[in-house]
Amino acid sequence: RAKQQGRNNYQLYTPALGARALERLVLENRLYKALEREEFLLHYQPQVNLITGQIVGMEALIRWNSSDLGFISPYQFIPLAEETGLICPIGEWVLRTACAQNRLWQSQGLPQFRIAVNLSARQFQQNNLLKIIDQILAETGLEPYFLELEITESIAMQDVDLTISVLRKLQNMGIQISMDDFGTGYSSLSYLKHFPLDTLKIDRSFIRDLMRNPHDAAIVKAIMALGHGLNLKVIAEGVETPEQLEFLRSVECDGLQGYLFSPPVAAQAATEIIKNGKLNMKN
Ligand code: C2E
Ligand code: MG
Ligand code: MG
Ligand code: MG
């Protein structure tokens, strides 16, 4: 309507619809079209076993290259996709693409590992989630063991009974489950023992200041003890320096993910990393 009224009309910029709201509206509008315009792609970041240096997993991370807005961070558009419900079709695309990619790597005879996919709250609460995953695994031919789903504490805590029942079904299917960004949410320890999990991922915020902040070091040690006490693997995210690596080795962390080894990269670059095998463990 503003356009019809001529170029010098600034009606859209009234206080009622401020610049932020307008930006959101534009983003939302583009997001609706992004799937059919094929503007999404996945990047992959290796997860490395701390003892052997072998790649034990690849986390799939979505990228949006909008034809008219350029690259937009998932921190910006995932919450919007969540609010609008678009996250369900987008998340399904991510699952299908990631599973197909892992199957492709396997068919090339490369060393095998799990592909990790982030789930959003709405996706997790979708009542046909298990059916969709089952269908995608059948379609792509990927064994469930080679798929790992990442959920956050805030997702898990929204409806604890639902969480337990969905996670149990996923685990019965043979799928691995990890708790992402662990330590930043509000999951109470008494619930943690009821959640069927395989892995805890220590949030990047605790790793970042590990060498400067003794409190962070204490928290990381506590999470290690908690995880191992519950028979879970513990992975650290956001590992950037050899000093952090050494600390994590000393507390017997199982796996590492971070720029020290590789940032998330496009499929082709990820293939090269996998072909090269072990990653440089520095010292
Ligand atoms: P996340 O699942 O915790 O993913 C880790 C984030 O940390 C990624 O950001 C990754 O690029 C970044 N990262 C990895 N190593 C380092 C490091 O050493 N240093 C620093 N500074 N950063 C590192 P990214 O790719 O921007 O994704 C942000 C968040 O968006 C993800 O956090 C996840 O919550 C969400 N997300 C990404 N892809 C998807 C998706 O396909 N579905 C859903 N539902 N959420 C997604
Ligand atoms: Mg994640
Ligand atoms: Mg994470
Ligand atoms: Mg994180």
What is this model's ipTM? 0.98
Ligand 1 pocket test: pick from 64, 76, 118, 154 the residue with the most ligand atoms within 8 Å of its Cβ: 118
Which residues neighbour 111 within 8 Å (Cβ) at sequence distance 6 or greater?
Answer: 54, 55, 274, 277
Cβ of residue 183 lying under 6 Å from some atom of ligand 1: no
Helices and strands, counts by H and E, the chain: 12, 10
Provide the 10 A C-beta neighbour count for residue 194: 13
Task: Look at residue 180 and tell me whether its pLDDT is greater than 90.
Answer: yes
Confidence check: pLDDT of 207 > 50: yes
22 Cα to the center of ligand 2, angstroms: 30
Q: Which atom of ligand 1 is nearest to the CA of 259?
A: 18
Residue 186 confidence class, pLDDT cut points 50, 70, 90:
confident
Q: Which residues are found with C-beta within 5 Å of the ion, ligand 2?
A: 118, 150, 180
Tokens matching residue 208 = 């970042």
Instruction: Report the mean per-residue pLDDT for the chain.
Output: 92
User: What tens digit of pLDDT does each residue of 255-278 get?
Assistant: 999 999 999 999 999 999 999 876
pLDDT band at 144 (very low <50, low <70, confident <90, very high): very high
Confirm or reject: Cβ of 181 under 6 Å from ligand 1: yes
Residue 206 has pLDDT above 80, yes or no: yes
Does the beta carbon of 118 sit less than 6 angstroms from any atom of ligand 1?
yes
Return the ligand 1 atom nearest residue 203 CA. 3
Mean pLDDT of 147-153: 97
For residue 279, pLDDT beyond 80: no
* End-to-end Cα spacing for the chain: 63
Residue having the nearest C-alpha atom to atom 13 of ligand 1: 238
The pLDDT assigned to 14 comes to 58
Ligand index nearest the alpha carbon of residue 201: 3
The answer on pLDDT for 68 being more than 90 is: no
Burial label, 193 (beta-carbon count in 10 A; 0-12, 13-18, 19+): exposed
Whole-number pLDDT of residue 278: 66
